[in-house]
């Protein structure tokens, strides 16, 4: 029988009237790969903070590390007990080298004031050797891919006496190939007796190597299951209490004049000879590996990175898109993948973010804002997209990921576009919110909008789109009709192009 490294009994935590955790039990065995699943607000972040000593549980809670009571540890004591957390932001120093980032934890733990670069490099090299990776030690972290940055964070954790590694949403920004490499590293850690706790929305990937899955919902533990007893549908039900019905777009869009026609579009080092069309009311998907040119293509159609050659026709007329202003004027809207940086002004209110794209349309002849028109437009958009939050005056930073994405959608739909481009529409959004976003996209198409969905999640484009293009190294390599294809065929097409 496996021995427990971590035992948590009756864990509760209350913040200012909000019960974040309610009598939760959790145990993680030595060398186990364990998945912690739940929607936003389920209590996952709180339990990570308690495990790592950042927060203390309420009285009556019990924590044992290798059988020793440990309910009142500090975060430093937690590290000394072998527990490390890699958060989504990775907590690395971008201006320092790989070697310096890896060795820094050891320097701080030993309270050393002086250390030479040779010691840094030696410590970093030992950590890398443990998991069989090679990253140039003198490279600045800011120069690395997200995948390599995660490996640096893992190596940093290995400089101590690592026994439990907690990874918060580790696969969000990775390609399929990078995810496979990361999971191989986790399995290597397992072989060395190091346990891993995965907190993830991309459950299919984590389930490949997880031994057990614990589900939280509204601060309560719903249960723990062997991973091989759960499929994605069963897991979604346990996380939300709801059964989600996924249906492909089976109907054929009426053969009318294309709203968008792209002909032999090229941009040096990004994409070449791209030709396709999108009908009114049609949803077209573009998928493929990160770096395939998908986002660059979307940005060109939106006027951010103008193409070098080729044609773009809208409603049958050739248009020149060399600025965002021109694209918006022609009725094109673009929802970027990184909504926090490119899509929203995080500290501004929901109301201001929602109408920022149409301020000029809300002006009276005097040049002053027509507040009555503004308020009615905000109310209409909040209702249409079911945006939930404290109030429309609350900062969008206080909203969940799903509601933030709804604000971005509302902001662009306010412009009454003809063509909507969505890049990673559900990145970082939990399963319940994903279903809602997909339904909003389908409803917009039903209203006559032409939609392009860019995603590396094949189930997402299968669920949302009428047609799907696979892109690789700047070219469209295959087109699929959704009603005539299985998910496996698209995945095989993507993987065969690597």
pLDDT tens track for 139-195: 999 888 877 888 888 888 888 889 999 988 777 667 667 778 888 888 999 999 999
Confidence of residue 31 (pLDDT cuts 50, 70, 90): very high
pLDDT digits (tens, 9 = 90+) for 416-437: 999 999 998 887 777 777 888 8
Query: Average pLDDT of 326-337?
Result: 92
Calculate what percentage of the chain has a pLDDT beyond 70: 92
Range with the largest mean pLDDT of 160-164, 201-205, 281-285: 281-285
**Average pLDDT over every residue of 235-258:** 70
Structural element, H or E, at residue 478: strand 475-481
Domain presence at residue 392? yes
Q: Are residues 324 and 401 in the same domain?
A: yes
Rounded Cα gap, residues 5 and 444, in angstroms: 50
Residue 284 lies in a domain: yes
Distance separating alpha carbons of residues 474 and 174, to the nearest angstrom: 19
Residues 165 and 278 in one domain: no
Which residue, 180, 207, 240, sits at the end of a domain? Answer: 240
Residue 170 in domain: yes
Domain that holds residue 313: 260-496
**Pair (228, 166) in one structural domain:** yes
> Within this chain, do residues 394 and 281 fall inside the same structural domain, yes or no?
yes
pLDDT (0 to 100) of residue 361: 84
Q: What is the pLDDT of residues 345-371, one digit of tens each?
A: 888 999 999 988 888 887 788 888 888
Both 366 and 331 in one domain: the answer is yes
Give the pLDDT band of residue 390 (cuts 50, 70, 90): confident
Q: How many domains does the chain have?
A: 2
Distance, CA of 203 to CA of 189 (rounded, Å): 20
Grade residue 2 by pLDDT with cuts at 50, 70 and 90.
confident
Q: Are residues 62 and 208 in the same domain?
A: yes
CATH number for the domain spanning 96: value is 3.40.50.300
The answer to whether residue 218 sits within a structural domain is yes
Mean pLDDT for 214-241 is: 88
234 and 276 share one domain: no
Beta-sheet pairing, 283-287 with 467-472: parallel
224: confidence class by pLDDT, cuts 50, 70, 90: very high
d(CA 132, CA 71): 35
Q: Is residue 245 part of a domain?
A: no
Task: Please say which residue of 211, 240, 269 terminates a domain.
Answer: 240
Question: What's residue 247's pLDDT?
Answer: 60
Q: Is 246 inside a domain boundary?
A: no
Residue 249 lies in a domain: no
Region for residue 183 given its phi and psi (left: phi exceeds 0; alpha: psi -120 to 50; beta: otherwise): alpha
Confidence (pLDDT) at 58: 94
Residue 202: which pLDDT band, with cuts at 50, 70 and 90? low
The pLDDT tens digits for 287-328 are 987 778 999 999 999 999 999 999 999 999 999 999 999 999
**What pLDDT score was predicted for residue 109?**
54
Comparison of pLDDT for 16 and 288, the residue scoring more: 288
Q: Is residue 179 located within the same domain as residue 286?
A: no
* Average pLDDT across the chain, whole number: 87
pLDDT tens digits, residue range 32-54?
999 999 887 788 989 999 999 99
Backbone phi and psi for residue 484, each to the nearest 5 degrees, phi listed first: -105, 10
Question: In the chain, what percentage of residues exceed pLDDT 90?
Answer: 43
Q: Which of residues 209, 240, 271 is at a domain's end?
A: 240
Report whether pLDDT(201) > 70.
Answer: no
Give the model's pLDDT for residue 88: 75
Residue 438 tokens read as 């997909």
Which pLDDT score is estimated for 272? 95
pLDDT at 424: 86
403 neighbors 346 (Cβ within 8 angstroms): no
Same domain, 490 and 371: yes
Assess whether pLDDT exceeds 70 at residue 107. no
| pLDDT higher than threshold 70 for residue 8 | yes
Say yes or no: 323 and 377 in one domain. Answer: yes
Length of the chain: 498
pLDDT of 106: 66
Are 182 and 311 found together in one domain? no
Residue 288 phi/psi, 5° resolution?
Answer: 145, 180
224 and 318 housed in the same domain:
no
In degrees, rounded to 5, the angle at the alpha carbon of residue 454 between the alpha carbons of residues 449 and 459 is 100
| Position 479 in a domain | yes
């Amino acid at each position: 029988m496996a021995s427990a490294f971590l035992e948590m009994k009756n864990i509760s935590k209350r913040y200012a009237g909000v019960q974040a955790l309610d009598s939760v039990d959790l145990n993680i065995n030595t060398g186990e790969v364990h998945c912690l699943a739940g929607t936003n607000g389920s209590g996952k972040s709180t339990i990570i903070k308690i495990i790592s000593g950042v927060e203390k549980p309420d009285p009556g809670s019990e924590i044992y590390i290798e059988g020793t009571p440990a309910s009142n540890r500090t975060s430093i004591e937690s590290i000394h007990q072998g527990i490390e957390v890699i958060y989504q932001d990775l907590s690395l120093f971008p201006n320092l080298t790989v070697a310096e980032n890896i060795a820094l934890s050891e320097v701080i733990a030993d309270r050393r004031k002086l250390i030479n670069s040779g010691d840094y490099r030696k410590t970093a090299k030992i950590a890398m050797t443990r998991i069989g990776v090679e990253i140039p030690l003198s490279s600045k972290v800011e120069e690395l891919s997200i995948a390599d940055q995660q490996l640096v964070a893992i190596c940093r954790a290995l400089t101590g006496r690592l026994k439990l590694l907690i990874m918060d949403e580790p696969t969000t920004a990775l390609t399929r190939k990078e995810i496979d490499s990361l999971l191989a590293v986790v399995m290597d850690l397992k072989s060395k007796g190091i346990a891993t706790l995965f907190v993830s929305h991309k459950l299919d990937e984590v389930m490949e190597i997880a031994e057990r899955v614990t589900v939280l919902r509204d601060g309560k533990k719903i249960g723990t299951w062997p991973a091989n007893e759960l499929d994605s549908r069963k897991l979604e039900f346990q996380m939300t209490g709801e059964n989600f019905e996924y249906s492909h777009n089976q109907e054929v869009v009426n053969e009318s004049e294309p709203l968008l026609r792209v002909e032999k579009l090229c941009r040096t080092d990004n994409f070449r000879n791209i030709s396709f069309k999108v009908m009114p009311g049609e949803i077209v998907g573009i998928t493929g590996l990160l770096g395939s040119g998908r986002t660059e293509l979307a940005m060109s159609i939106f006027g951010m990175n103008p193409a070098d050659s080729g044609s773009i026709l809208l409603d049958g007329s050739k248009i020149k898109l060399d600025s965002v202003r021109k694209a918006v004027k022609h009725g094109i809207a673009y929802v970027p993948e990184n909504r926090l940086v490119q899509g929203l002004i995080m500290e501004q209110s929901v109301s201001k973010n929602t109408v920022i794209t149409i301020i000029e349309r809300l002006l009276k002849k005097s040049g002053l804002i027509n507040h009555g028109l503004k308020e009615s437009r905000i109310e209409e958009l909040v209702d249409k997209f079911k945006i939930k939050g404290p109030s429309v005056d609350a900062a969008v930073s206080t909203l969940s990921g799903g509601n933030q994405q709804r604000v971005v959608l509302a902001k662009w739909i306010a412009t009454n576009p003809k063509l909507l481009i969505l890049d990673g529409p559900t990145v970082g959004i939990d399963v319940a919110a994903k279903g809602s976003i997909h339904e909003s996209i389908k409803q917009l198409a039903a209203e006559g909008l032409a939609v392009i969905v860019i995603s590396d999640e094949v189930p997402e484009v299968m669920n949302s789109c009428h047609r799907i293009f696979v892109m690789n190294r700047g070219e469209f390599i295959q087109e699929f009709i959704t009603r005539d294809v299985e998910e496996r065929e698209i995945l095989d097409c993507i993987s065969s192009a690597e």
